[in-house]
Structure 1
């Protein structure tokens, strides 16, 4: 490799590594912030939080790569132009195409690497992250007894106390406990002057020892009427010490956070798996549409339609024939026809939703297959926009290049989502929807590359002003001739 190529690669890789990790960090923090409300306050171990962040980083790496390439290409070529290195390179007879040639091979390698990542690591990370996030959301909040309020987090119990004190904050003052475990209402109430909480490490039970209190319980059946409850006996007693063992295993179910219940989400599958499931879904979809067509064919008795000519078109309906039917019989025929039509319309409405959902699912899998290929090549497309753009604007650093990179990628991302939504609704094909953003931005990349190669700006202001001047001159000459 020539020294020149090494220098160009170094000029690109230094800002690329910096921008890639910065963008990845921002994307991970944004996703974590959105999920924070769902997982905060549940006593989740830091180990699972770190696993969640690692899975998020692996999922967002394919998105951070194109942004990093776009931003670093603008910065690298902008720095070369700003420091007059590009002018020196051109004066030596080296064209822009020769300058970016080693970078093109590097971007092709990164695009291939991004495709391998999307097809192998991304599905695995999505499987782990989505299941872990779902299990975190379902996990019960961490047990935290608050003084002065009824604590109902523990299943089957309602606990209230005035004050929590002691070195370990495990002593309670003026405790009131309602045992609701039998689902019969508040029929067992325990009060005590003092309570002591003790839990052994690793135990699934919390021991609550009450001192100097009263015990009250009503002996009723669940099926009793409210008026019969007053006639039933009740138990009442006082105690010096009373112990309650409360099951708190549901608050320490970290072993269930790794459960994998969702496995067929389109983001969790490789291209081969997506294609296999898509083929199966297409067979089911064809069978479904055929069954619906047969249903309408049979309910409308289409076999008999050809036997009866349309009397309203070929011949006039003879009023004498209608006179043979009574008004009651005519109303029966009309009502049955109306009811048949209503049933068909209602069936149509109900099946329309099912038909649309099946078609959407089919389009979703097809779009995901093509999108992973097109998104891998997004690195190359965005490079051919960023590199000539940096050469033209002649500005390095994080200022203007960052703004332009964000604007360009937002446009690319918006068009990608638009293509995905349109293909999902069957407005366009899945293939066209997945390549829509690439097809729209690729001509701009070619145009910018040509203008940068020819040493031209993005817009030739002088040419535009000359054309406007010529237009005014022609208009003035025509007015003079008149």
Structure 2
């Protein structure tokens, strides 16, 4: 390796290591702010907290790597331009392409590493982190209860409260509990101004102690007709303190923190596993559509519609079909058509949720497959944006390069996320949704690279300003004459 290549690599690697670690730390802390407060200080041991932190770091690494490449390429090439090393290289007959050649090979290597991360380590880390977090919530069921919405993690109950506070976050405000354990609907409702959760690790019961509340229960037997339900008795009472014991053995069980029960999520699979799973999901989705279509076809008796031979056609028949029948038959036909149409529409409405769920599940797997490949090339794409941009602006350090890098990556990441969301909602294809960020960024990379090799600025302002100034100069010269 030549001395020049070593120097260029050294100029790039120093800021790359620093920026990569800084960006990784910031992104990990951002995730921890959202989840760490739910497990810290809740009796969870330090080794498991460190495991959660470790898996989070592995998940964030593929996102931090492209940002590090982008920022360090702008800084490295900006420093070379700011210190007039570009001018010295050009005077020696060394082109920009020759200068960045070792960095291109390094970036290709980093893209390969990013691909290996996304295909092997990222699914493993998602698998471990999600199962660890869910097992922690099972060991501490109170952690699974979230304020502001109905919680259905505990079988047989719907629990809602406005706020969870206290040192152990086991004190509740404005509690609403629907007891569905009898499998007869929400016949038992409990409300309270305040409440407290008591649970011990390993216990099969979670105890709610409620204060200043109201209790209501309907005593309805099974298979009671709707006309008689309103006449059935009900009991209600107010209370100052009420104790409710809920069996959570199905939730907590005897599982440990290292158990892995969730393994088939789309982001827990490698590319080969996704490739094997997608055809099965596609076949299941197509089968669902086919069954629904056959159901509608048979319900409207479409098979009874057939063409008559020309010799059997009644030439005196009225083109308006209903006019060929008497009034009673017309009413009967219209009623039958209305009934069959309503039946078909109800069938569509009842099956719409199932069809949408299957389609969205398929989109998740499909989009994840293409996005793994597309996002692994983000290092290479962002390098060909950052390197020419750094040589054009000729500014090093963490000032302007940091601002430019953040703006470019936010645009890239937002476009990628926007494309994925559209693909998941079936607005565009999964392939286009995954590659839309690259489709937008590659032309920008080509434009910047061409302008940098020709030693031009980002925008040719003279092409816009000079015609305007010449026009005003001609006007002033005519007035003077």
TM-score (norm 2): 0.72
**Contact 1:20–1:68 at 8 Å: present in 2 too?**
yes
**Contact 2:390–2:401 at 8 Å: present in 1 too?**
yes
Where do residues 302-317 of structure 1 align in structure 2 (5 Å cutoff)?
Answer: 302-307=302-307, 315-316=318-319
What residue is the counterpart of 1:421 in the other structure?
A: 421
Distance 1:272 1:321 in 2: 63
Distance 1:318 1:453 in 2: 75
Does the alignment pair 1:435 with 2:435?
yes
**Contact 1:131–1:262 at 8 Å: present in 2 too?**
yes
Distance 1:315 1:442 in 2: 64
SS of structure 2 residue aligned to 1:14: helix
Distance 1:123 1:290 in 2: 33
Say if 1:264 and 1:473 are closer, same or farther in 2 by CA, change over 3 A: farther
Structure 1 residue 319, shift from structure 2 partner: 8.8
Say if 1:253 and 1:53 are closer, same or farther in 2 by CA, change over 3 A: farther
- Paired residue total: 382
- Partner deviation per Cα, 1:270-295 (whole Å, 9 max, x = no partner): 00000101011111122122212211
- Which protein is bigger by CA-based radius of gyration? 1
Does the alignment pair 1:68 with 2:68?
yes
- Partner deviation per Cα, 1:118-139 (whole Å, 9 max, x = no partner): 1111111110011112222343
What residue is the counterpart of 2:358 in the other structure?
A: 358
Structure 1 residue 41, shift from structure 2 partner: 3.7
**Contact 2:69–2:382 at 8 Å: present in 1 too?**
yes
Where do residues 398-417 of structure 1 align in structure 2 (5 Å cutoff)?
Answer: 398-417=398-417
Structure 1 residue 46, shift from structure 2 partner: 0.8
**Contact 2:111–2:379 at 8 Å: present in 1 too?**
yes
What residue is the counterpart of 1:454 in the other structure?
A: 454
Distance 1:316 1:249 in 2: 70
Where do residues 52-131 of structure 1 align in structure 2 (5 Å cutoff)?
Answer: 52-131=52-131
What residue is the counterpart of 1:291 in the other structure?
A: 291
What residue is the counterpart of 1:2 in the other structure?
A: 2
Structure 1 residue 140, shift from structure 2 partner: 2.1
Where do residues 137-152 of structure 1 align in structure 2 (5 Å cutoff)?
Answer: 137-140=137-140
What residue is the counterpart of 1:300 in the other structure?
A: 300
Distance 1:317 1:226 in 2: 59
What residue is the counterpart of 1:215 in the other structure?
A: none
Where do residues 457-476 of structure 1 align in structure 2 (5 Å cutoff)?
Answer: 457-469=457-469
Structure 1 residue 36, shift from structure 2 partner: 2.6
**Contact 2:139–2:202 at 8 Å: present in 1 too?**
no
Where do residues 69-468 of structure 1 align in structure 2 (5 Å cutoff)?
Answer: 69-140=69-140, 256-307=256-307, 315-316=318-319, 322-323=325-326, 326=328, 333-468=333-468
Structure 1 residue 254, shift from structure 2 partner: 10
SS of structure 2 residue aligned to 1:256: coil
SS of structure 1 residue aligned to 2:455: coil
**Contact 1:388–1:452 at 8 Å: present in 2 too?**
yes
Q: Which moved further from structure 2: 105-114 or 342-351?
A: 342-351
Distance 2:234 2:463 in 1: 92
Structure 1 residue 302, shift from structure 2 partner: 1.5
SS of structure 1 residue aligned to 2:55: helix
Distance 2:442 2:258 in 1: 43
Say if 1:320 and 1:416 are closer, same or farther in 2 by CA, change over 3 A: closer
Structure 2 gaps, min length 5: 144-199, 205-232, 236-247
Q: Which moved further from structure 2: 17-26 or 39-48?
A: 39-48
Distance 2:141 2:291 in 1: 48
Distance 2:325 2:141 in 1: 75
**Contact 1:41–1:141 at 8 Å: present in 2 too?**
no
**CA-atom RMSD, angstroms?**
3.6
What residue is the counterpart of 1:26 in the other structure?
A: 26
Distance 2:402 2:317 in 1: 75
Does the alignment pair 1:17 with 2:17?
yes
